[in-house]
Amino acid sequence: MDNGEIYRVSSTRMNSSTIWRNSAMDVFSKSSRDEDDEEALKWASIERLPTYLRVRRGILSLEGESAREIDVQNLGLLERRNILERLVKIAEEDNERFLLKLKNRMERVGLDLPAIEVRFEHLNVEAEAHTADRALPTIFNFSLNMLEGFLSYCHIIPNRKKHLSILHDVSGIIKPGRISLLLGPPSSGKTTLLRALSGKLGNDLKVSGRVTYNGHGMNEFVPQRTSAYISQQDLHIGEMTVRETLSFSARCQGVDQRYDMLTELSRREKAANIKPDQDLDIIMKAAALGGQETNVVTDYVLKVKTCCNDNQTIYNAERSENEVSLSSRTSSARVGSINEADRNKKRGMVLPFEPHTITFDEIRYAVDMPQEMKSEGVTEDRLELLKGVSGSFRPGVLTALMGVSGAGKTTLMDVLAGRKTGGYIDGNITISGYPKNQETFARISGYCEQTDIHSPHVTVYESLVYSAWLRLPPDVDNATRKMFVEEVMNLIELNPIRDSIVGLPGVNGLSTEQRKRLTIAVELVANPSIIFMDEPTSGLDARAAAIVMRTVRNTVDTGRTVVCTIHQPSIDIFDAFDELFLLRRGGEEIYVGPIGRHSIHLIDYFESIEGVPKIKDGYNPATWMLEVTTASQEANLGVNFNTLYKKSELFRRNKDLIKQLSVPSENSKELYFPTKYSQSFVVQCIACLWKQHLSYWRNPSYSAVRFLFTTIIALMFGTIFWDLGSKRDNQQDLFNAMGSMYAAVLFVGVQNATSVQPVVAIERTVFYREKAAGMYSALPYAFGQVVIELPYIFIQTIVYGVIVYGMIGFEWTAAKFFWYIFFMYFTLLYFTFYGMMTVAVTPNHNIAAIVSSAFYGFWNLFSGFIIPRTKIPIWWRWYYWICPVAWTLYGLVTSQFGDIEDRMDSNQTVAEFVRSYFGYKYDFLGIVAAVHVGFTVLFGFIFAFSIKVFNFQNR
């Protein structure tokens, strides 16, 4: 370093008026820390480096250590976290300042962040689809659609699909630096517009118009690299942690243009003689360099998003400054209000019920400490999620259960509803003064889960009929039950979609808000006395949320006990609640009591605490309440809201109320039902079979494709093994005929077992919810799942058998044809039941596929075709006798050739060769048939037993 350079550095830091030693208002200054000559020399040496090296060097100052020059790419975990902690100590307060530092650093050298203006002009999106009954995905419609599609493609008949306009002549501009709000009623095309602008529309849609990014058409670049589309459905890899998910995303997306911006920023700062904040400089360099960008971005997102409250303000501006795009198919749309008059408001339910109170005192819930936390140094064996919470929920009182993420809202609700499958629960829970019994409690309660899980191939109306059929008392006749279902559908405004297929979330069927309303309706048709609702308004627009909450309010007005967890409700929705149960992070209550008209009681309670800021006029009380009770506010005020609550008069009144309600009233009786379930075992079986029938008939991707695959395989095998069944002149002819049987068993059998696994896995998820709701026991569900396969596999066997039997040329006698159909039918049955069984004993169908594939190899090896039983070593022959495929080949070969006395070239009869070479005896055929039935029953029984015993849903 020459003298001029040293002088320039030294004189600059001595001059308080220079940029290096700015006033306290400069966000980049380090006025709290004196810079020594050594540090200045180190920075000057970095400034002299070439740009490539300069953007990889930084000066790190840790507490108790002198500043040192580091290679940013070798930044350690502890160093990285210390820097982030200094920059963003409290996420709620410091994150905005940190972002402003980034912005101001670039503005000081005249460097603008890249900005993109999105324009869309005359955008049209159309779809072609069948309507009315043709829209139902039945096997008949599927076959007809394929035929019509082929004929239409050949221009023999016109296309009979209807044109549906999703977006019509939509134009607009999305400008950088603004938050644009896209509003519209359900099915108005909001999601389609977002997907069109982000380049994520499906290929089956017809799109016209123009979308440009800064004037460039979407065919000139890859829009997925420029824009991010965040879907309603949160799809992630379940086996990865949050950190791993973020790291994977950052690693795949790379550093993008950040490196180029950093080099230009460094060049301009050097030219302007500006020294940036050391910590900020290191973070920006690490985020732009390969190898460190993943760690830095992940740490920052975890700190800001995981630690901040749900009510963090992302953008704050006057509404008039924002851009609002409103898409609607109608000229006007009415947004519902909770308090508006409704024709159903005074109408009661047509079925009587008995009101019940639920009280809980000193409830604690803990789980085993995760191994990851133990590896971080945590010594406790258990992690406590609820810490002695107490309260009561009463008939006619709508209670809001609120708190930040991680406060334990859903955990408390699961504990009270009896939905927890693991963990340690302590405390007292009473129902109308009597100790809670989960078996009887499930009969009088309903639970609307946050995830809307339903059978995908039934309609909305059928879902409600099914729920009412199994959950209403047996003395309710069919006409009354249907009338009650109709009333619930009117109440929740489900009539317009009554014949719509439910579908799978994020794939097809109902939208998010329609699925949410269906979830509530499924529970309401059970006529419960106590209803738990886990975030009933999440994912809903203002109108849909108003409909749902109006329904909930009407339900409460009939005298039911309703509890809802809810996130940041609007003022109207919050006013619909009567009482609030507020939890803070860690599972401790900080307010349990009445809300009051316009939230007056809640506001008075918190404003009485010294230091809590007053609520502004017109501000949402729910948002204000969450803001003033954050962990950072507690730290700033030096108070503990849980301690303050437990010292308050409100807490003492709640304790007295719990004590009062925990004593049964006079002339009351403990809940008792003569049977565990509302309906008898036979009715449960019939209902489950009815739903499975609808599900299979409307699932052509499984049922119809299985028939199509079977037909193609039959034709292929028939042409390959053409007329080989009539040839018996030598041993090779018999091997060829047996090979056709062997190939058919494995091809079609394994296909059946594999294709049924995802179907059973989806229905098992629905089964967990329905069983927890007390709709039926495990055996009726297993009965329906097993029995529904019988007719489908029988048709599959007939189709395959007729084609193959005739083309291969087996002997046309009634007995031989019957035996062929019999063995193929039960073979396909046990393969299908085996596939179902592997799903029942494993957590998901992916693991089931791995487990079942392992056994397919053993079955292939010990089938008796590759190595006949007579040549298998004696110590392995036992497995031959328990191999299902070996018995199938035994039955098929013996029934076709075991009684043939024609002589072959070797002077042996066909029957003698089959007996001597394979060990197959014709007299043993009856036992072989019985073993086939036994394997089928065994696999079906294991499936039913596993469904009853194993529960892979962890809550």
> Could you confirm whether domain 118-221 is CATH 3.30.70.1290?
no
Q: pLDDT grade, residue 91 (50/70/90)?
A: low
At residue 18, the pLDDT reads 40
Q: pLDDT grade, residue 874 (50/70/90)?
A: confident
For helices 814-840 and 731-772, the axis angle rounded to 10 degrees is 40
- Average pLDDT of the chain to the nearest whole number: 80
- DSSP-assigned states of every residue in 739-806: HHHHHHHHHHHHHHHHHHHHHHHHHHHHHHHHHHTTS--HHHHHHHHHHTHHHHHHHHHHHHHHHHHH
Residue 456 has pLDDT above 60, yes or no: yes
Q: pLDDT grade, residue 117 (50/70/90)?
A: confident
The amino acid present at 6, given as its one-letter code, is I
> pLDDT by residue (tens digit) across 507-537?
788 887 788 889 989 998 998 999 999 888 8
* Cα gap 922→400, rounded to integer Å: 73
Residue 625 has pLDDT above 60, yes or no: yes
Q: Among 281-295, 639-653, 891-905, which stretch is predicted with the lowest mean pLDDT?
A: 281-295
At residue 591, the pLDDT reads 93
Of the chain, the percentage scoring pLDDT greater than 70 comes to: 82
Ordered by start, the domain boundaries in the chain are 3-113+252-307, 118-221, 358-661, 681-949
Q: pLDDT grade, residue 140 (50/70/90)?
A: confident
- DSSP-assigned states of every residue in 756-774: HHHHHHHHHHHHHHHHHTT
Residue 601 has pLDDT above 50, yes or no: yes
Q: Among 52-56, 564-568, 725-729, which stretch is predicted with the lowest mean pLDDT?
A: 52-56
> pLDDT by residue (tens digit) across 381-390?
888 899 999 9
**Which two three-digit tokens encode residue 511?**
């939208």
> pLDDT by residue (tens digit) across 185-242?
767 888 888 888 888 887 778 888 888 888 888 877 777 777 777 777 677 776 677 7
Q: pLDDT grade, residue 331 (50/70/90)?
A: very low
Planar angle of CA 394, 471, 792, nearest 5 degrees:
150
- Superfamily of structural domain 358-661: P-loop containing nucleotide triphosphate hydrolases (3.40.50.300)
At residue 32, the pLDDT reads 41
Q: Which residue has 């942690």 as its token pair?
A: 241
Q: Do domains 118-221 and 358-661 have the same CATH topology?
A: yes
Alpha carbon 787 to chain centroid, angstroms: 30
Higher pLDDT, 751 or 233: 751
Of the chain, the percentage scoring pLDDT greater than 90 comes to: 26
At residue 295, the pLDDT reads 53
Q: pLDDT grade, residue 350 (50/70/90)?
A: low
- b/e code 25-35 from CB counts within 10 Å (16+ = b): eebbbbeeeeb
Query: Which range, 221-230, 572-581, 935-944, has the best average confidence (pLDDT)?
Result: 935-944
Neighbours of 546 (CB within 10 A): 23
Higher pLDDT, 424 or 100: 424
* Cα gap 861→766, rounded to integer Å: 37
* Cα gap 576→336, rounded to integer Å: 13
Q: Among 75-89, 95-109, 289-303, 736-750, which stretch is predicted with the lowest mean pLDDT?
A: 289-303
At residue 872, the pLDDT reads 81
Residue 467: Cβ-neighbour burial (10 angstroms; 0-12, 13-18, 19+):
buried
At residue 128, the pLDDT reads 79
**Which two three-digit tokens encode residue 627?**
């803001």
Alpha carbon 847 to chain centroid, angstroms: 19
Mean pLDDT of 910-931: 86
Q: pLDDT grade, residue 243 (50/70/90)?
A: low
CA 414 to each of CA 50, 207, 406, 411, 955: distance values in angstroms, whole numbers, following the listed order: 61, 46, 14, 5, 8
At residue 471, the pLDDT reads 92
Asked if 583 and 409 touch (Cβ cutoff 8 Å), the reply is: yes
Residue 824 has pLDDT above 70, yes or no: yes
DSSP state of 399: E
* Phi and psi angles of residue 258, each rounded to the nearest 5 degrees, phi first: -65, -35
Higher pLDDT, 655 or 90: 655
Residue 592 has pLDDT above 90, yes or no: yes
* Cα gap 751→949, rounded to integer Å: 27
Higher pLDDT, 83 or 400: 400
Dihedral sign of CA atoms 502, 504, 506, 509 in order: negative
Residue 25 has pLDDT above 50, yes or no: no
Q: Among 307-321, 351-365, 540-554, 645-659, which stretch is predicted with the lowest mean pLDDT?
A: 307-321
Q: Among 13-17, 236-240, 826-830, which stretch is predicted with the lowest mean pLDDT?
A: 13-17
At residue 4, the pLDDT reads 44
Planar angle of CA 115, 121, 122, nearest 5 degrees:
160
Residue 777 has pLDDT above 80, yes or no: yes
* Cα gap 803→714, rounded to integer Å: 6
Residue 540 has pLDDT above 60, yes or no: yes
